[in-house]
Structure 1
Amino acid sequence: SSRHLTLASPWFKRTLTSSSSKEAVPNLTDGCFYVNASDWDEEAFLILLNIFHLRKRQIPKIMSVKMLAKIAVLVNYYELEKAEAIKDYINHVRRSYAVPTSYSRDLVLWMCVSAVLNLSTEFEKATAIAIRESIGSIQTLSLPIPQR
């Protein structure tokens, strides 16, 4: 599985091939690398691994926007936006979810999802709503939303 991860993710390639990586520790007994992923939401991380390993039956068909955003944060962190397995998931998100129609926390979460997954039409629609309806600056909730 580490071979697949290093091919799909620049982050994993750097982490698993660098002797100075602090996030991946080699185990001399079994020869495997162990990646510290303790700060992530367990369910989101498991869903991402199921997406990546093409375990479609174990991927919820419908998720909250909050869960989609948690997965998007992981995709962004691990630089998986261009992985083939993620592309199928992106198409599912595009078909299954609609952009919220008013400025709210869910709209900001959707801005994160659409930015990370490169859903440009959805991102433009969400940001237009946020710009039109927000009072003051748009709160990004420290999510990976580009400042355009």
Structure 2
Amino acid sequence: MGKLVGGLALLSLALFMVLGFVRADVDPLALRTMVALLIGAGLPAAGGVWLLARYRGVGSRIEHRREQLRRDTLEAEILRMAGRHDGRLTAVEVAGELAVPTTTAEELLNELMARDMADIEITDSGLLVYTFHDVRHLSEKESARGLLES
């Protein structure tokens, strides 16, 4: 709420300053008048617009996009890792190689599992192993045929 009030206050101040310059008996084309108008009205107006944009969530949308790009990059790295590890990974391997916390690695692996890109298996000792079925069968792509061919 403070961003909204601050933005509106700065825009009001800028408008007040512009009206003052319009009513003043000064040469509007003089350099000092233009500089004074820029400082007196332009800077508050820019600050007000910036605060209103932040209030409307422009910055948070950029942060959301940045976070989504980060997660997409990490998922791509996990798939690359799966290719190097015969399609089988643990959360500890992912965390160690990507330098992320184990909880983040587990979240990413569970998201891939939820999107049906991975399955989960468990060893006799209780270790969770994420298997990437498509990655495990990449070697078969050379023998692929058309859908209607038998």
Q: Same fold (TM over 0.5)?
A: no
The structure with the largest alpha-carbon Rg is: 2
Scaled to the shorter chain, the TM-score interval is: under 0.3
TM-score (norm 2): 0.22
